[in-house]
């Protein structure tokens, strides 16, 4: 969809503290593991890989070890067709940045709610190479880049489709559609709230489940100033708000009263 005639203001991109956004990969993430990807060495010397792939179905990820050098794992996949924003395609790599080890296999692959998690086993093939006093190799790729800041990053593994965390499109006369990346969130087990007031649509998502290799759960919070609604005609009295969470993406439909919401069965009482 093209840009709407009316302006959309993502209020989450207006920093309220000196530190700016919580996460440069997602302006809506307030708590939880930052960064589009994380590769870290576990106590058993295996590698834990976490990648944000919002919109990717749980059974749609493809993973394979580089058969030539056995240094990295390739991952890829496509999101389901969305008539509003089309398809996003992902492709990337993660693994070793050393000369002393090789990946021997992927012990565990879990793709759930827009987050890919893998455990990679490895073996040392060059015992003469030493990287620290414990002779424990910690050279992984890509380097961990999760951080806070005021400048948002494009998703590095999207080769087709939108690369930022927010999508907006107008619908007919007086309606609009939002899609917000919330990796890790689902509509069943987590607390997801969507509300509307005079001219703003807000949401909050608390991810309850914590992976054993992640440092904490996740919390998302955001608000978007809609092109519709005013103090005289508040949005929550003139429009219906329908929403759903699929594969780590929150979809919000805002349509004038009288039209029939078509996203989901999750209707909010705004």
pLDDT tens track for 58-107 = 999 999 999 998 999 999 999 987 788 899 999 999 999 998 999 999 98
Phi, psi of 168 (to 5 degrees): -135, 140
Q: What pLDDT is recorded for position 38?
A: 95
Q: What pLDDT is recorded for position 144?
A: 76
CA–CA distance, 91 with 39 (Å, rounded to integer): 16
- Is residue 56 within 8 Å of residue 78, measured between CB atoms? yes
Q: Which fold has domain 33-141?
A: Immunoglobulin-like (2.60.40)
Phi-psi group of 88: left, alpha or beta (phi > 0 → left; psi -120 to 50 → alpha; rest → beta): beta
CATH 2.60.40.790 positions along the chain are: 9-27+153-256, 33-141
Residue-level length of the chain: 270
CA–CA distance, 72 with 102 (Å, rounded to integer): 8
Nearest-5° angle of CA 185, CA 60, CA 73?
A: 95
User: What string of pLDDT tens digits covers the 270 residues of the chain?
Assistant: 334 444 567 877 765 555 567 789 999 999 999 999 999 999 999 999 999 999 999 999 999 999 998 999 999 999 987 788 899 999 999 999 998 999 999 989 999 999 999 999 999 998 766 555 466 789 999 987 788 888 889 999 999 999 999 999 988 888 889 999 999 998 776 789 999 988 899 999 999 888 889 989 999 999 988 888 777 888 888 889 999 999 999 999 999 987 665 665 444 443
Phi, psi of 229 (to 5 degrees): 95, 150
CA–CA distance, 119 with 108 (Å, rounded to integer): 5
Q: Which fold has domain 9-27+153-256?
A: Immunoglobulin-like (2.60.40)
CA–CA distance, 102 with 104 (Å, rounded to integer): 6
- List the structure tokens of 195: 């509300």
Count other C-beta atoms under 10 Å from residue 29's C-beta.
Answer: 28
Q: What pLDDT is recorded for position 4?
A: 41
- Is residue 142 within 8 Å of residue 39, measured between CB atoms? yes
- Is residue 129 within 8 Å of residue 99, measured between CB atoms? yes
* Peptide bond preceding 142 in cis form (omega within 30 of 0): yes
CA–CA distance, 77 with 55 (Å, rounded to integer): 10
Count other C-beta atoms under 10 Å from residue 106's C-beta.
Answer: 17
- Which 3 state secondary structure label does DSSP give 236? helix
- Which 3 state secondary structure label does DSSP give 234? coil
Q: Write down the number of H helices and E strands in the chain.
A: 1, 18
CA–CA distance, 155 with 26 (Å, rounded to integer): 9
Q: Which residues pair with 259 in a beta bridge?
A: 257
Identify the residue whose tokens are 């054993």: 212
CA–CA distance, 51 with 112 (Å, rounded to integer): 11
């Amino acid at each position: 969809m093209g840009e709407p005639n009316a302006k959309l203001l993502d209020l989450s991109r207006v920093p309220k503290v000196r530190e700016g956004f919580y996460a440069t990969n997602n302006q809506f993430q307030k708590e939880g593991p930052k960064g589009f990807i994380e590769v870290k060495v576990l106590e058993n010397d295996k590698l834990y890989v976490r990648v944000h792939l919002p919109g990717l179905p749980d059974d749609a990820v493809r993973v394979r070890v580089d058969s030539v050098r056995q240094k990295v794992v390739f991952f890829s996949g496509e999101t389901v067709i969305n008539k509003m924003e089309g398809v996003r395609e992902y492709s990337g790599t993660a693994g070793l940045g050393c000369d002393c080890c090789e990946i021997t296999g992927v012990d565990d692959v879990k793709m759930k709610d827009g987050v890919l998690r893998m455990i990679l086993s490895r073996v040392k093939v060059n015992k003469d190479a030493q990287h620290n006093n414990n002779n424990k190799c910690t050279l992984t790729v890509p380097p961990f880049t999760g951080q806070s800041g005021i400048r948002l990053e494009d998703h590095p593994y999207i080769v087709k489709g939108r690369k930022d965390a927010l999508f907006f499109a107008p619908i007919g006369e007086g309606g609009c559609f939002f899609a917000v990346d919330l990796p890790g969130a689902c509509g069943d087990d987590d607390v997801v709230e969507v509300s509307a007031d005079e001219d703003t649509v807000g949401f909050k998502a608390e991810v309850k489940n914590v992976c054993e290799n992640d440092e904490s759960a996740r919390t998302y919070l955001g608000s978007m100033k809609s092109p519709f609604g005013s103090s005289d005609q508040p949005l929550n009295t003139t429009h219906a708000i329908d929403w759903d969470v699929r594969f780590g993406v929150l979809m919000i439909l805002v349509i004038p009263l009288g039209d029939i919401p078509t996203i989901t069965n999750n209707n909010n009482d705004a």
